[in-house]
Amino acid sequence: MKVRQKLRQAIDSLYAGGQATAEAYTPLVLECVRANDVGQAKRLQSHMDLHYFTPNDTFLHNRLLHMYARLGKISDARNLFDKMPQRDIISWNTILSVYAKSGSVENLRALFYKMPFRDSVSYNTMIAGLAGSGFSSQALEVFLRMNREGFEPTEYTHVSLLNACSRLLDLRKGKQIHGRICVGVLGRNVFVWNALTDMYAKCGEIDKARWLFDRTDNKNVVSWNSLIAGYLKNGQPKKCIDLFQEMQLGGFKPDDVTVSNVLGAYFQSGLVDEAIEVFNLIKNKDKVSWTTMIVGYVQNGKEEDALNLFAKMLAEGVKPDSFTISSVISSCAKLAYLCNGQVVHGKAILLGVDNDLLVSSALVDMYCKCGITKDAWIVFDMMPSRNVVSWNAMIRGYAQNGQDLEALVLYEKLLQQKLKPDSITFVAVLSACNHAGLIEEGRIYFDSISKRYALVPTLDHYACMINLLGRSGCMTEAIDLVNNMPHEPNSLIWSTLLSVCAIKGDIENGEMAAKRLFELEPLNAGPYIMLSNMYATCGRWEDVASVRSLMKSKNVKKFAAYSWIEIDNEVHKFVAEDATHPQTEIIYEELGRLIKKLQEAGFMPDTKLVLHNVEEEEKFASICYHSEKLALAYGLIKNPHATTPIRIMKNIRVCGDCHMFMKLVSKVILRPIILRDSNRFHHFVGGSCSCKDYW
């Protein structure tokens, strides 16, 4: 404090005395630099300007310029640079480094090409600045010019160039630079070898990366991180974990980058508990480690754990970034937790990341998956920029929510924006045609995938077309499509065909599809249950018993069907004939009241849909107490006078009786019901459904 006070007093004296010489300025400039005192340096510079001081060389101005650059004072540095009566190569390189470090590529490029003379430092700074800001191709072009002008690259040049090749995944150029390194004097430099290891790993030659790593002298943490990240990127999480353990045994202390990659490796391997152990050992958890854990939970189907961890992250005072926020929003979307999603949306606004492309696209998807396409459209419409992912989210959202024509109109608008649709776009478009029963339009869109956009139709596209053709009564064409498709039919194709056969009552083709699924997925209960239900519908009880016996012999476990409803930020889950809820008695009373009211209006539960050979009374009880009906009753109990939609989620497809029940209830209670099943949304309003019963 005393040093700065003396410095200020000395400059005060300078102002009191009027003009000064270079001898007077020099010690003061050097003292400002030593003290990193920008304020007094600017006063000193102002005094020079005031008295039109012109130094004989660049020494004083360069010292001030270097200090401004080192402290990140970009505008002060540029202001001084522009005023300098004379500039040398040091002056130009200093201001060049300011722009390179700040990522101001336009200013960097403009200044570089304006330089009256350049040296190797100029070129190295330019290459590092371009490569570090993601302009990898331009960095390589500048390197070629550097060669032509005869300047010798340094280790920093090669590191920047290798990083550029890594970003571009340009293995050929990376190998060329490797060759230059081998014939030069930088062959054993650890920074260069780390960059080489990273380049080969990112370009897919992980064995070559390992060869380099094993021969690297004086390995540091970056060396280990390069190969660990490489194994993770190349889909070898076990080797990533093994290398992490080897690193620790070697006495190296992992840093945040190491931990983030290792957490990713554990999650890739499905070793969630091991990832938690590593995470809990981190003393100072940063944003990267928290985000890695949240993303890992989402990838492993643990969305609720992801939401809980996000809450802990905020409680710890760690500020999330756009990637964290988008991952949390995706969790809300998968769970259809609207309230949580709205809270996270608010947090995104407070953090100023709500207009981030990743976050906005996730918000559109979340609102669509919660059945609120109006809010999704508001987010979509306000996006400052959109990519195909954003458009896909909105198109798919409209298709899932029964707004099929809106989905197709939006697809045409996408084309008007000169954007090229991708495979996901066409899944959404074909789904819209499927739900709306637009068979001719579906054929046109399907043909355009290859003929107009030179894309290869995927199994998802074929599944959409098989569904559309089968449901539209073109079963022969659907079977032909299965038999003649260029891909080997997988479980998606056969399960789609089986589903269509179940709806159309096509036992013969249904048996064929089911048998293929028994071979592909012998422990998946779905095909067994669907085939059993088809037999039961026809009263073929011996065949039903045969399928169930087959399931028992193969130890195939039936998965539980359940529904859930979110009330006051709390999720309530129900199974059929559930008796575990604390308010079970009241729920059944309310459901009984609804059933009675509908029966008075002429509705009778469709006991034919109970696919068990039991008494009629048992069938009646079974069909009346499905999980979505219990969830509906609970929603009415908790908010009896509300006018907002009742939102219910189900993990499998809604049955025909429940679908009819929801339609009639929406008419009786004069309140919308939104039901999301495993296939799509059903918006029940005034006795009608958005799916137009084409479900």
Q: Are 263 and 293 in contact (CB under 8 A)?
A: yes
Residue 660: the pLDDT is 86
Cα separations (Å) of 337 from 15, 297, 312, 331, 334?
A: 67, 16, 18, 8, 8
How much of the chain, in percent, has pLDDT values that exceed 90?
52
Work out the mean pLDDT of the chain and round it to a whole number.
Answer: 89
- Overall average pLDDT of the 367-396 stretch: 95
- Overall average pLDDT of the 382-410 stretch: 94
pLDDT tens column, 128-173: 899 888 888 999 999 889 988 888 888 888 888 998 999 888 999 9
Residue 35: the pLDDT is 87
The band of 572, judged by pLDDT with boundaries at 50, 70 and 90, is very high
Residue 586: the pLDDT is 94
Q: Which of 47-61, 472-486, 507-521, 595-609 has the lowest mean pLDDT?
A: 595-609
- Overall average pLDDT of the 392-399 stretch: 96
Residue 264 has pLDDT above 70, yes or no: yes
Question: How wide is the angle at C-alpha 330 spanned by C-alphas 328 and 335, nearest 5°?
Answer: 100
- CA proximity to 587, closest of 541, 637, 639, 657: 637
Q: What does residue 465 show for φ and ψ, rounded to 5 degrees?
A: -70, -40
Q: What does residue 556 show for φ and ψ, rounded to 5 degrees?
A: -85, 125
User: What is the C-alpha to C-alpha distance for residues 391 and 388, in angstroms, rounded to an integer?
Assistant: 5
Residue 612: the pLDDT is 45
Residue 604 has pLDDT above 70, yes or no: no
Both tokens of residue 409?
């109109």
DSSP letters spanning 455-519: PPP-HHHHHHHHHHHHHTT-HHHHHHHHHH-SSPP-HHHHHHHHHHHHHHT-HHHHHHHHHHHHH
- Overall average pLDDT of the 315-332 stretch: 94
Residue 558: the pLDDT is 79
Q: Which of 194-198, 448-452, 657-661 has the lowest mean pLDDT?
A: 657-661
* Greater pLDDT, 187 or 425: 425
Residue 342 has pLDDT above 90, yes or no: yes
Superfamily of chain region 441-554: Tetratricopeptide repeat domain (1.25.40.10)
Residue 644: the pLDDT is 86
Residue 36 has pLDDT above 60, yes or no: yes
Residue 438: the pLDDT is 92
Residue 614 has pLDDT above 50, yes or no: no
Residue 55: the pLDDT is 86
- Overall average pLDDT of the 191-200 stretch: 91
Residue 186: the pLDDT is 55
The band of 201, judged by pLDDT with boundaries at 50, 70 and 90, is very high
Residue 566 has pLDDT above 70, yes or no: yes
- CA proximity to 659, closest of 626, 634, 633: 626
- Overall average pLDDT of the 372-381 stretch: 96
Residue 619 has pLDDT above 80, yes or no: no
pLDDT tens column, 218-249: 899 999 999 999 999 999 999 999 999 999 99
pLDDT tens column, 87-99: 999 999 999 988 9
Q: Are 428 and 399 in contact (CB under 8 A)?
A: yes
Sequence spans of domains, the chain:
441-554, 563-689
Residue 187: the pLDDT is 54
- Overall average pLDDT of the 553-577 stretch: 88
Residue 613 has pLDDT above 70, yes or no: no
> Which residues are within 8 A (CB) of 625 and not within 5 positions of it... i.e. 6 or more apart?
576, 577, 578, 588, 591
The band of 695, judged by pLDDT with boundaries at 50, 70 and 90, is very low
- Overall average pLDDT of the 292-307 stretch: 93
Residue 694: the pLDDT is 52
Both tokens of residue 459?
């199994």
- Overall average pLDDT of the 382-388 stretch: 94
Highest mean pLDDT among 186-190, 334-338, 448-452: 448-452
pLDDT tens column, 325-341: 999 999 999 988 999 99
User: What is the C-alpha to C-alpha distance for residues 168 and 135, in angstroms, rounded to an integer?
Assistant: 10
Residue 620 has pLDDT above 60, yes or no: no
Residue 616 has pLDDT above 80, yes or no: no
